[in-house]
Amino acid sequence: MKKRSMLLSTALLCSLFIFSGCEQGQQKNAPAEKKDIYLQLYSVRDDIKANYAAIIDSVAKIGYTGVEAAGYADGQFYGMSPADFKKSIEDAGMQVLSSHTGRPLAEPTSDTNWEETWAWWDTAIQAHKDAGMKYLVVAWIPTPKTLADLKAYCDYFNQIGEKCNAAGLRFGYHNHNFEFKEVEGEVMYDYMLKNTDPAKVFFQMDVYWTVMGQKAPVDYFNEYPGRFEILHIKDSKELGQSGMVGFDAIYNNADKAGAKYMVVEVERYTGTPLEGVKESYDYLNTAAFVKGSYSK
């Protein structure tokens, strides 16, 4: 009887060990917690024209939290009303974060038709509000030839930002690499940062184009803290391949930048666009230096 009791005890201990080991293995192999990572839909610009619904569904299945649009025109997004666009994104399980659009000033800037310009912006701002956007971003301006032209754009952006604020949106500017050139002895990007009101204009730094402009993103975070509410996370192709962009330093200094959202953009690909955006998502979602969220 005593021997039988010992055998039962041993069997019980073995079963507990096996069960515990299985549970530990499950915990060890559990998938990483999903992080807040957004996608600029320009990354799938050609595919989205061919089959919008299928591509949005694929982007959601990859794991992206939400999107930044690149298809605004005449009060619509990708040919849909703001409400229908918002619904299409939310039905896929994602959020509408922001959008790229813009209306350049005339050349010369003094020839701008302000009545038409502000009517255009009133329509655009209302459409972005109706689509549930948090941010409206100008993605490009013609390279100013003089500081007076650049100052005209800074004043213009301050006025747009004021209108956006009144509608509950934040207004920002997205850079390329030409902004790091000088106009009459002034670096364009620095001049824009100094001559726009932080309460009205934020900067969506494209970290790849900043590096291509031979500048360090973190240096700008240190010099202009809090100005970069959204970062465009980009590389020459898929994220992390080139070794040119110090993503770990960028993410480790995101709080100083004032970054609340990280938006992936893939302009060129090794394979297909969807493969590229998936590889880029996986790179960030498994990176130890990327926090779960920056907006909380």
Query: Strand 201-206 to strand 76-77: parallel, antiparallel, or no bridges (unpaired)?
Result: unpaired
In this predicted structure, what is the pLDDT of residue 14? 37
Q: Tokens standing for 181? A: 């050139």
**Contacts with 166 (C-beta within 8 Å, 6 or more apart), sequence order:** none
What is the per-residue pLDDT for 34? 85
State the CB neighbour count (10 A cutoff) for residue 4: 8
Whole-angstrom Cα distance, residue 263 to residue 114? 32
**H and E: helices and strands count for the chain:** 12, 12
Q: Give the Cα separation of 23 and 10 in Å (integer).
A: 20
∠ Cα 170 175 180 (to 5°): 135
- This prediction has a pTM of 0.88
Contact predicate 125/136, CB 8 Å: yes
Angle between helices 82-91 and 114-130 (to 10 degrees): 30
> Which amino acid makes up residue 153?
Y
- From first to last of its 296 residues, the chain has per-residue pLDDT tens of 433 343 334 443 333 333 333 333 333 344 457 899 999 999 999 999 999 999 999 999 999 999 999 999 999 999 999 999 999 999 999 999 999 999 999 999 999 999 999 999 999 999 999 999 999 999 999 999 999 999 999 999 999 999 999 999 999 999 999 999 999 999 999 999 999 999 999 999 999 999 999 999 999 999 999 999 999 999 999 999 899 999 999 999 999 999 999 999 999 999 999 999 999 999 999 999 999 999 97
Sequence length of the chain is 296
- Spatial separation of the C-alpha atoms in residues 25 and 161, rounded to whole Å: 52
Q: Which pLDDT tens digit goes with each residue over 110-148? A: 999 999 999 999 999 999 999 999 999 999 999 999 999
The predicted-structure confidence for 192-237, as pLDDT tens digits, reads as follows: 999 999 999 999 999 999 999 999 999 999 999 999 999 999 999 9
* CATH number of this structure's domain 33-285: 3.20.20.150
Q: Which pLDDT belongs to residue 160? A: 98
In Å, the largest CA–CA distance within the chain is 103
pLDDT on residue 33: 73
Contacts of residue 99, Cβ cutoff 8 Å, sequence gap at least 6? 68, 69, 70, 72, 77, 128, 131, 133, 135, 136, 137
Looking at residue 136, its amino acid is L
* Rounded percentage of the chain residues whose pLDDT exceeds 70: 89
Q: How far apart are the C-alpha atoms of 133 and 131, rounded to whole Å? A: 6
What pLDDT is recorded for position 32? 58
What SS3 class is residue 77? strand
Closest CA to 68 of 160, 139, 157, 142: 139
